[in-house]
């Protein structure tokens, strides 16, 4: 099969082609796995974290990609539900133990044996991949391959983030950063909480304009003060400045939910600006989001199909994966980036 392979940890400021195009052996499904012919794979900031070593793969080389849409073309002997020809998606959660206290409570995202697609197992920057059957999700027919791909991570993690805010209809919601995940959260929040005003903080004027196009009540720079205090804010950025700036915009008792696997260290010194009276006092909270659970993906796909939520996206051929990653690194963002494969 053809794949774009990560062979070493590197700095994207120096190495602008971190992935190498390669022909590698076709994967063979084990008894509980399905083999997918990949149609599309979303490009996520977490791939930058892998390439640059903030969440390094346990072994190299590895095939990245965890927003995968493909068709089942072979099945292991223990596969029961999925059939050849089914179109399915794969997200960041590749597998979990299924028996620990977290898994039994539906919190398989917190499982000590959590394995990530495209990090702990080969992912979707390839023409073929395997995945355990119970971690593959049927894609509703309303979505094209490229529309469905960003829903599997950017959408599902946004769904989990919105749920973790605890926001109620009519309360004010903020989004800091406005890329693949945040633009889907805005669409979702407008549907679920029709009386909730949404305020967007984004570094570029293009992103602010995009947020207003999608129905934001207000949009401004990262460091701006919103016209009103906000009951909850979701941070979807890879850096620290938006965390500190968001806290000053929270209402008393408000909650900031950080939607990121890792934060870059380029502006970590900004945490020195964090002051207890103005940023944390009055029972403000900071909550992280860890991965996604299986239920996040399945529930979000159903919700997205019912609304329906259609992501904005740009397509790239598989061999231009490096270009898509560099544009993401350089914050050239309007919606999501998707590799069109096959």
In this predicted structure, the answer to whether residue 41 has a pLDDT above a threshold of 80 is: yes
Q: What is the pLDDT, as a whole number, of residue 122?
A: 98
Q: What is the CATH number of the domain that holds 260?
A: 3.40.50.720
What's the rounded Cα separation, in Å, for the pair 291 and 159?
12
pTM given for the model = 0.92
Residues 92 and 240 in one domain: no
What's the rounded Cα separation, in Å, for the pair 267 and 277?
22
**What are φ and ψ of residue 128, in 5° steps?**
-140, 150
Q: Is the peptide bond before 308 cis (omega within 30 degrees of 0)?
A: yes
Count the Cβ atoms, other than its own, within 10 Å of residue 85: 8
Residues 335 and 320 in one domain: yes
Q: What is the pLDDT, as a whole number, of residue 112?
A: 97
What's the rounded Cα separation, in Å, for the pair 134 and 287?
28
Query: What's the whole-number average pLDDT of the chain?
Result: 95
**Tens digit of each residue's pLDDT (9 = 90 or more) over 120-141:** 999 999 999 999 999 999 999 9
Q: What is the CATH number of the domain that holds 56?
A: 3.90.180.10
Residues 255 and 334 in one domain: no
Domain boundary among 270, 288, 306: 288
Mean pLDDT of 63-67: 98
What share of the chain in percent tops pLDDT 90? 88
Number of domains in the chain: 2
Residues 32 and 93 in one domain: yes
Residues 264 and 316 in one domain: no
Residues 66 and 89 in one domain: yes
Structural domain boundaries enclosing 269: 156-288
Residues 95 and 206 in one domain: no
Classified as helix, coil or strand, 195 is coil
Residues 6 and 145 in one domain: yes
Domain boundary among 266, 288, 310: 288
Axis crossing angle, helix 180-192 with helix 154-165, rounded to the nearest 10: 50
Residues 94 and 227 in one domain: no
Largest Cα–Cα distance of the chain, in whole Å? 60
Residues 122 and 205 in one domain: no
In this predicted structure, the answer to whether residue 206 has a pLDDT above a threshold of 80 is: yes
Residues 13 and 148 in one domain: yes
Q: Is the dihedral of CA 143, 124, 185, 115 positive or negative?
A: positive
**Tens digit of each residue's pLDDT (9 = 90 or more) over 274-323:** 888 888 899 999 999 999 999 999 999 999 999 999 898 999 999 999 99
User: For the chain, how big is the Rg over CA atoms in Å?
Assistant: 20
Chain centroid, CA 117 distance in Å: 12
Residues 133 and 15 in one domain: yes
């Amino acid at each position: 099969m053809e794949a774009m392979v990560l062979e070493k940890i590197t700095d994207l400021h120096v190495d602008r082609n971190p992935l190498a195009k390669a022909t590698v052996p076709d994967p063979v499904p084990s008894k509980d796995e399905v083999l997918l012919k990949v149609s599309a794979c979303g490009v996520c900031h977490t791939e930058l974290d892998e390439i640059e070593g903030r969440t390094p793969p346990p072994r190299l080389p590895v095939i990245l990609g965890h927003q995968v849409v493909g068709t089942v073309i072979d099945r292991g002997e223990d596969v029961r539900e999925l059939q050849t020809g089914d179109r399915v998606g794969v997200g960041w959660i590749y597998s979990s133990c299924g028996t620990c206290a977290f898994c039994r409570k539906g919190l398989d995202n917190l499982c000590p044996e959590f394995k990530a697609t495209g990090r702990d197992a080969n992912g979707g920057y390839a023409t073929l991949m395997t995945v355990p059957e119970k971690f593959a999700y049927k894609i509703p027919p309303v979505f094209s391959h490229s529309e469905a791909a960003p829903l599997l991570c950017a959408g599902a993690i946004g769904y989990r983030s919105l749920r973790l805010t605890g926001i109620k209809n009519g309360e004010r919601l903020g989004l800091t950063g406005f890329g693949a995940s945040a633009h889907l959260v805005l669409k979702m929040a407008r549907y679920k909480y029709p009386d909730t005003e949404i305020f967007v903080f984004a570094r570029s004027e293009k992103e602010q304009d995009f947020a207003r196009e999608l129905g934001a009540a207000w949009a401004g720079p990262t460091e701006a003060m919103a016209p009103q205090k906000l009951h909850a804010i979701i941070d979807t950025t890879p850096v620290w400045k938006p965390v500190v700036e968001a806290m000053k915009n929270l209402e008393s008792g408000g909650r900031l939910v950080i939607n990121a696997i890792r934060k870059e260290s380029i502006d970590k010194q900004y945490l020195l600006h964090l002051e207890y009276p103005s940023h944390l006092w009055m029972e403000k909270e900071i909550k992280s989001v860890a991965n996604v659970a299986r239920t996040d993906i399945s529930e979000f796909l159903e919700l997205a199909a019912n609304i329906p939520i259609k992501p904005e996206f740009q397509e790239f051929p598989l061999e231009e994966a490096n270009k898509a990653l560099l544009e993401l690194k350089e914050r050239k963002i309007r919606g999501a980036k998707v590799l069109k494969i096959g």
